[in-house]
Amino acid sequence: MTSEDLRIEDDPRHEDIALLDARLYEFNAAASGVHDGRSLAVFVREADGAIVAGLHGWTWGGTGFVQALWVREDLRRRGLGKRILAAAEAEAVRRGCHQMHLDSHSYQAPAFYRRLGYEVIAELPGWPGTDTRVFLRKRLA
């Protein structure tokens, strides 16, 4: 392999990303001996199937991870995000998880997560600009 073989792509195919994720999971599972990784998703759909809110992430090795949580703007501040996150946490517990992990920018929802029992475990200032990326964890029952 040479540097000419490197291809930078700003719109990679979903299946190519999935392949990388699968190979990394295989390595992590082999190295750790933990093979219980599963995707985790919670969706709220309209009658026509359109997604109006949802969460996706995964569970692995006793931890649930929230990759993304989104609620359509007109449905915010009605408790829907809280219900979605609670459903994900309950499923994580059902799968044997003892904690949830997620991250949020300072301009997004770290206060929302703190109100729901998440604790700040790290911060990365200066991303983006003068904002901060906040990493949070919640211990589950």
What domains, with CATH codes, occur in the chain?
12-26+35-139 (3.40.630.30)
Residue 21 phi/psi, 5-degree rounding, is -60, -45
For residue 91, give every residue at least 6 positions away whose Cβ sits within 8 Å of its Cβ, in sequence order, or none: 40, 42, 59, 64
Which pLDDT belongs to residue 4?
A: 79
HEC secondary structure over 58-70: EEECCEEEEEEEE
Q: Whole-model pTM?
A: 0.91
pLDDT of residue 1: 67
Other beta carbons within 10 Å of 95: 14
Residues of the chain with pLDDT under 50: none
Query: Mapped to the 3 state alphabet, what secondary structure does the chain carry?
Result: CCHHHCCCCCCCCHHHHHHHHHHHHHHHHHHHCCCCCEEEEEEEECCCCCEEEEEEEEEECCEEEEEEEEECHHHCCCCHHHHHHHHHHHHHHHCCCCEEEEEEECCCCHHHHHHCCCEEEEEEECCCCCCEEEEEEEECC
